[in-house]
């Protein structure tokens, strides 16, 4: 694709579908990055070929294209000029996206207890139209009760102060506001059976959590399915996996892998294909909705004795 073609072809970046509706900053940053990468690749250039344009390191360009680095409007415009983009409408759309990417976000006041690797997920999940997740040890954060979340945070951060613990719990509860929004995402939560067996926080906490989980399932807020022992021994990944998809004009789909103190965000075609297949196969072997709720009821009964 030539520079002239890329300037006219609006498919390279969904920056013109704003419709006057601001995007979430993290989503806007990903769109800017995806557009810059597509423009660069359309000219057959490597990152090392363009870093000099904004007097930046290769790693800075790479972070900009992933939507991770703060994106200065001047840098973006200089790169677009170097890529031959002159269409005023395209340039104006990108400038608007950059402004949105740098807008304040609600979770900034929790930065003292919010790991940098987790911020991107918070920014993306409330713009997703669907979240498909597999959890091997815990109820997903978006579906946790306050008491269960507190137990998880305490166990994971034994040296944290009470204030630090409560701030992390409050952040987790605030994330759940997206479930009560005008257009909440479709959530499919595949839970390993072990989630129903470990009494996180004690029996009373588990009863409350599992009752809440059942409420979410019965009110179609989340499609909760249990993956029984022995049914997916050769399928279960070694860590939790979440697949996020977005609507028209949104950023590309991604896979989120969470570890104890880090995370990976995967957007490559091979990675997406592999993990989407894993989630699909897990969904096939998971118990039905009815049986899953029966298993939740059985766990509630055990913890209520």
pLDDT of 51 above 50: yes
Separation between Cα atoms, residue 92 and residue 267, nearest integer Å: 27
Kindly list the structural domains of the chain, giving each domain's residue range(s) and its CATH number in brackets, ordered by start. 20-101 (1.10.260.40), 115-142+178-304 (3.30.870)
Reported residue count of the chain is: 305
Crossing angle of the two packed helices 25-42 and 116-125, in degrees rounded to 10: 100
pLDDT tens, position by position, 79-94: 999 999 988 888 998 9
At residue 22, the pLDDT reads: 53
pLDDT tens, position by position, 248-302: 878 889 999 998 889 999 999 999 999 999 999 999 999 999 999 999 999 999 9
pLDDT tens, position by position, 102-129: 888 888 899 999 998 898 899 889 889 9
At residue 14, the pLDDT reads: 44
Reported as type and span, the H/E element at residue 289 is helix 289-304
| Other C-beta atoms lying within 10 Å of the C-beta of residue 97 | 28
pLDDT of 205 above 90: yes
pLDDT-derived band of residue 7, with 50, 70 and 90 as boundaries?
very low
pLDDT of 9 above 60: no
Distances (CA, A) of 210 to 215, 231, 257: 9, 22, 24
pLDDT tens, position by position, 15-41: 434 334 456 888 888 889 989 999 999
pLDDT of 62 above 80: yes
pLDDT of 2 above 70: no
């Amino acid at each position: 694709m030539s520079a002239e073609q890329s300037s006219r072809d609006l498919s390279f970046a969904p920056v013109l579908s704003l419709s006057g509706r601001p995007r979430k900053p993290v989503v806007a940053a990903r769109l800017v990055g995806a557009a810059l990468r597509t423009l660069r690749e359309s000219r057959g250039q490597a990152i090392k070929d363009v870093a000099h344009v904004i007097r930046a390191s290769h790693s800075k360009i790479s972070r900009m294209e992933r939507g991770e680095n703060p994106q200065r409007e001047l840098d973006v415009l200089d790169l677009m000029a170097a890529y031959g983009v002159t269409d005023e409408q395209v340039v104006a759309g990108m400038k608007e996206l950059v402004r949105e990417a740098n807008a304040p976000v609600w979770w900034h006041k929790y930065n003292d207890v919010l790991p940098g690797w987790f911020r991107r997920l918070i920014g993306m999940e409330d713009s997703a139209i669907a979240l498909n997740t597999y959890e091997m040890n815990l109820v997903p954060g978006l579906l946790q009760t306050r008491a269960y979340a507190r137990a998880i945070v305490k166990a994971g951060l034994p040296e944290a102060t009470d204030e630090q613990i409560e701030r992390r719990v409050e952040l987790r509860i605030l994330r759940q506001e997206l479930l009560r929004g005008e257009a909440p995402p479709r959530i499919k939560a595949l839970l390993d059976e072990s989630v129903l067996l470990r009494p996180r926080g004690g029996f009373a906490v588990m009863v409350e959590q599992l009752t809440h989980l059942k409420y979410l399932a019965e009110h179609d807020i989340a499609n909760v399915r249990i993956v029984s022992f022995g049914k997916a021994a050769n399928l279960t990944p070694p860590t939790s996996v979440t697949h996020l998809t977005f609507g028209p004009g949104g950023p590309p789909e991604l896979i989120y892998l969470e570890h104890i103190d880090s995370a990976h965000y995967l957007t490559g075609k091979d990675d997406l294909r592999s993990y989407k297949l894993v989630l699909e196969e897990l969904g096939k072997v998971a118990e039905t909705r009815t049986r899953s709720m029966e298993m939740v009821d059985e766990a509630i009964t055990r913890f209520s004795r």
